[in-house]
Homo-oligomer: A and B are copies of this chain.
Amino acid sequence: MKKKMNTQDAIVEAAFTLIAQHGLKGTSLSMIASEVGISKPAIYYYFPSKEELVDYLFHIVFDDHNFSEFFSINEYTKENFKKRLITDGIRYFEEYKHNSPALKVVHEFVLSAAQKPRYEKKLKSIMEQFLEGFEALLSYGVELGVISSKNTKVNAHSLALIIDNLGNFMILGIEMDYKKIWETAVSHVMKGSERF
């Protein structure tokens, strides 16, 4: 399957793996080159600089890591809403369990965002997109009459905060009843749950 990757893909993959292991600054072009089995300058044939290689990874990661990738709003119905929201969420953070390098790399980007204004903007917008995804989903739930109409925004953000951090805690290997936590969080936003 992996048989004969082209060099560019091999560079990208090696970069992912190594950055996941050693961090953005901790990964040098030498490391990548020797992982791929090519010479250092060969990388420059595909990417004009380390920065641009990292940018490329950034886009790959976040293009795969958006809300709609995990929660397809159009498949939600009145009947399946709660169940679907629960299972989609579980699917989302379960990915962390498999410890895909991409997810650790996301972490690296979050970190470096604090230092690189360019990333900060992009990352912020991705996060906001994520929040808006939940808002839209809950709004749709309100339309369907299955979601409490009060505080949609606050509820959406709460769900986003929880599910995002569940992944973070998972990476650290902290034991929690992830599914139960998520189920509870979802239940709180379902109709009949509001009392305040």
Distance in Å: Cβ of A152 to nearest Cβ of chain B: 12
Residues of chain B with a CB closer than 8 A to A192's CB? 195
A181 within 8 A of B: yes
Residues of chain B with a CB closer than 8 A to A127's CB? 169, 172, 174
Segment touching B, from A2-10, A31-39, A52-60, A105-113:
A105-113
Is A181 in contact with B162, judged by CB distance below 8 angstroms?
no
Residues of A135-167 at the interface with B, using a CB-CB cut-off of 8 Å, are 151, 153-155, 157-158, 161-162, 164-166
Distance in Å: Cβ of A24 to nearest Cβ of chain B: 8
Q: How many copies does the complex hold?
A: 4
A171 within 8 A of B: yes
Is B128 in contact with A174, judged by CB distance below 8 angstroms?
yes
| A158 and B162 contact, Cβ closer than 8 Å, known pairs A124-B173, A172-B124 | yes
A131 within 8 A of B: yes
Segment touching B, from A68-76, A84-92, A182-190:
A182-190
A120 within 8 A of B: yes
Residues of chain B with a CB closer than 8 A to A97's CB? none
- Mask, A93-119, CB within 8 Å of B = 1, is 000000000001001101111110000
In this complex, the member of A120, A131, A158, A169 whose beta carbon has the largest number of chain B beta carbons within 10 angstroms is: A158
Residue of B nearest to A25 (CB): B25
| A115 and B23 contact, Cβ closer than 8 Å, known pairs A154-B184, A161-B162 | yes
Given A120-B173, A161-B166, A164-B165, 8 new contacts (CB under 8 A) = A107-B110, A107-B111, A111-B111, A114-B171, A124-B173, A154-B177, A161-B181, A165-B165
